[in-house]
């Protein structure tokens, strides 16, 4: 079942990218609000329950609502589908949308494991469609500036990345974060951020060392990771689901360092120091909304350019990130049904 109204047309020849929102949970609302508030067109929303889709559509003034994911991806007025469901469903939902001819922006983690991620990327490539991981941090202004500074040599030889993502989340054993059937645990939900940041700076590691403490439900309560690289660089990463942490990050080089304030994976200020500890830059660029509009804008740019990948987070790196997460899980003894 669906409620449907026609999309408007642009005033000029510039194609308008029309978004469909798959899922109606908390993160879907955040992305939809940032899309609408920054000029993007949200055309449709789909839920497994039509009443939920209608409620979401009314809340955000979305023209079309669908009572199934199948109806959403079949909507001819949708160009790209934002997949906001919990990560155990990303693979299934992404393949559904891609097979319907839609580009996909997939919430992180991209999938449950590298096998699933590879299947998504392979299908997208074979159909000439974009499969972009919604690692929104990569597209924030402070991260763009950090990459610029690293490339320029302002930090000298970058040797170390340190980042944590620790939160005090619900203790209910049935809650998604604690439920292995729903991909629970600190690593996939929270650790994906520092892992992706390490990839942003250094690329794929040559070796990984990991240790974890587990919950009574069998998922990782906290996980510590060291990623090692070919020229001796290291990334020291940590995630935990039941303790609130500083949630800061640092990039350390021979000629200086960057310290990103809490919360580093959200729009955040940072300080850059020279090798003597003097402050040489204070970055603090205001961002409206949550900041999820930047990843959406990049997706729209890729669609307009008929490009399947960018340099910021190419699909193959999303697969490599999942390969690293798979290795961490192997070392800490965390398995899921999807494996």
The pair of structure tokens assigned to 330 is: 């192997």
pLDDT digit string, tens, across residues 158-195: 999 999 999 999 999 999 999 999 999 999 999 999 99
Check which CATH number belongs to the domain holding 56 and give it. 3.40.50.720
CA distances from 312 to 32, 99, 317 (A): 22, 25, 9
| Structural domain count of the chain | 2
Task: Give residue 227's domain range.
Answer: 141-286
Answer whether residue 291 is part of any domain. Answer: no
Of 82, 104, 135, the position where a domain reaches its end is: 135
Q: What is the pTM of this model?
A: 0.94
pLDDT at 13 over 80: no
Of 88, 113, 135, the position where a domain reaches its end is: 135
Instruction: With beta carbons less than 8 A apart as the criterion, state whether 171 and 296 touch.
Output: no
CA distances from 58 to 6, 73, 147 (A): 16, 20, 40
Residues 259 and 220 in one domain: yes
| Range 229-249 average pLDDT | 98
Answer whether residue 332 is part of any domain. Answer: no
pLDDT number for residue 8: 36
pLDDT at 76 over 80: yes
Average pLDDT of the chain to the nearest whole number: 95
Residues 109 and 37 in one domain: yes
pLDDT number for residue 4: 41
What does the alpha-carbon distance between residue 272 and residue 268 come to, in Å, rounded to a whole number? 13
pLDDT at 71 over 70: yes
The β-bridge partners of 162 are: 236, 250
Q: Provide the pLDDT confidence category of residue 250 given band limits of 50, 70 and 90.
A: very high
């Amino acid at each position: 079942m669906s409620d449907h109204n026609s999309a408007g047309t642009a005033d000029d020849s510039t194609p308008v990218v029309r978004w469909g929102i798959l899922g109606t949970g908390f993160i879907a609302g955040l992305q939809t609000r940032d899309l609408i508030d920054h000029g993007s067109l949200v055309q449709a929303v789909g839920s497994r329950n039509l009443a939920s889709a209608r409620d979401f559509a009314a809340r955000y003034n979305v023209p079309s609502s669908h009572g199934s994911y199948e109806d959403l991806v079949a909507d001819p007025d949708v160009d790209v589908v934002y997949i906001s469901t919990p990560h155990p469903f990303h693979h299934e939902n992404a393949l559904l949308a891609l097979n319907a001819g839609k580009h996909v922006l997939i919430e992180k983690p991209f999938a449950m494991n590298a096998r699933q991620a590879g299947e998504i990327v392979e299908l997208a490539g074979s159909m000439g469609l974009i499969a972009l991981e919604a690692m929104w941090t990569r597209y924030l202004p402070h991260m763009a500036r950090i990459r610029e500074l690293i490339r320029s040599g302002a930090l000298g030889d970058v040797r170390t990345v340190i980042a944590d993502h620790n939160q005090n989340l619900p203790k209910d054993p049935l809650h998604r974060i604690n439920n292995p059937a729903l991909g629970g645990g600190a690593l996939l939900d929270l650790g994906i951020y520092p892992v992706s940041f390490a990839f942003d700076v250094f690329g794929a590691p040559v070796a990984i060392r990991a240790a974890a403490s587990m919950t009574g439900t069998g998922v990782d309560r906290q996980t510590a990771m060291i990623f090692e690289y070919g020229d001796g660089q290291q990334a020291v990463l940590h995630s935990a689901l039941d303790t609130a942490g500083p949630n800061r990050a640092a990039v350390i080089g021979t000629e200086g360092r960057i310290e990103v304030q809490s919360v580093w994976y959200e729009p955040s200020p940072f300080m850059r120091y020279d090798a003597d500890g003097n402050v040489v830059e204070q970055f603090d660029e205001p961002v409206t909304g949550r900041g999820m509009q930047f990843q959406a804008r990049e997706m729209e740019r890729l669609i307009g350019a008929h490009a399947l990948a960018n340099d910021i987070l190419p699909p193959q790196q999303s697969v490599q990130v999942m390969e690293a997460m798979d290795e961490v899980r192997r070392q800490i003894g965390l398995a899921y049904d999807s494996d």
